[in-house]
């Protein structure tokens, strides 16, 4: 479980193909207490650290993970990183599981006083889970949906968020990992009576 409050952006420094995609990520902040077997959110994807040293860590991705996530698993990409939530710590974002629901596409970026509005088109089957003033995680960043417009939703990103996450580097046409609000998914299931 995560909060969606990014601790740092790392850098993918090596990628190895095989039965699993092995990815080495250079980092600093998350290494302070990260150990083999710990969960870490990498651009919002909950992954297990399979090796850790003083300069970075390795993760392995199954084909299903690669299929469901934005195609950013390449050398040079700077993923948002967050260690798993510890019991007793403050929850400043919202509950983020690290189980990506799909990829949303950036369809527009508009200036607003002191910030930027980023418009995203989610996969059609996920639209019903996105509500104005509800929560979403984009590349692992906990955000409030500022509004809905047609088949898109938008979030307002302040300079701090643009500076400490990789969202500021997005352009129109880019994809991001989208996790819809956990409560919305469970509420729908309860309403169906399944």
| Residues 47-86: tens digit of each pLDDT | 999 999 999 999 999 999 999 999 999 999 999 999 998 8
CATH code, domain with 171: 2.40.30.20
Please give the average per-residue pLDDT across 112-119, as a whole number. 96
- Can you give the pLDDT at residue 64? 92
Same domain, 65 and 125: no
State yes or no: pLDDT of 191 exceeds 90: no
Going by pLDDT thresholds of 50, 70 and 90, the confidence category of residue 194 is: low
pTM of the model: 0.93
Q: Provide the number of structural domains found in the chain.
A: 2
97 inside domain: no
Give buried/exposed letters for 137-151 (b at 16+ CB in 10 A, else e). bbbbbbbebbeeeee
Instruction: Read off the pLDDT of residues 6-60 as tens digits, 9 standing for 90 and up.
Output: 999 999 999 999 999 999 999 999 999 999 999 999 999 999 999 999 999 999 9
| Residue 33 located in a structural domain | yes
- Supply the range of the domain harboring residue 70: 8-83
Instruction: Looking at the structure, tell me whether residues 141 and 181 fall in a common domain.
Output: yes
Please give the Cα distance from 103 to 120 (Å, whole number).
10
With b for 16 or more beta-carbon neighbours within 10 A and e for fewer, the 120-131 pattern comes to bbbeeebeebbe
Which of 83, 115, 143 is the endpoint of a domain?
83
Residues 75 and 19 in one domain: yes
Query: Would 124 be classed as within a structural domain?
Result: yes
Q: Is 96 contained in some domain?
A: no
Residue 178 and residue 115 in one domain: yes
Kindly list the catalytic residues: 2, 39, 46, 48, 62, 99, 144
């Amino acid at each position: 479980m995560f909060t969606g409050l990014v601790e740092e952006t790392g850098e993918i420094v090596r990628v190895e193909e095989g039965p699993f995609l092995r990815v080495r990520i250079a980092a600093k902040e998350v290494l302070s207490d990260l150990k083999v077997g710990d969960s870490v959110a990498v651009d919002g994807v909950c992954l297990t650290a399979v090796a850790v040293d003083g300069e970075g860590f390795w993760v392995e991705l199954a084909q299903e993970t690669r299929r469901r996530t934005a195609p950013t698993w390449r050398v040079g990409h700077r993923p948002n990183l967050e260690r798993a939530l510890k019991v007793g710590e403050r929850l400043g974002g919202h509950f983020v599981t690290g189980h990506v629901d799909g990829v949303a596409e950036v369809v527009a970026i508009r200036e607003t006083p002191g910030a930027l509005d980023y418009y995203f088109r989610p996969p059609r089957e996920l639209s019903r889970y996105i509500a104005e003033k509800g929560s979403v995680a984009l590349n692992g960043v906990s955000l409030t949906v500022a509004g809905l417009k047609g088949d898109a939703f938008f979030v307002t990103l302040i300079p701090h968020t643009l500076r400490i996450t990789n969202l500021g580097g997005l352009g129109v046409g880019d994809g991001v990992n989208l996790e819809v609000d956990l409560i919305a998914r469970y509420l729908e299931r309860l309403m169906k009576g399944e």
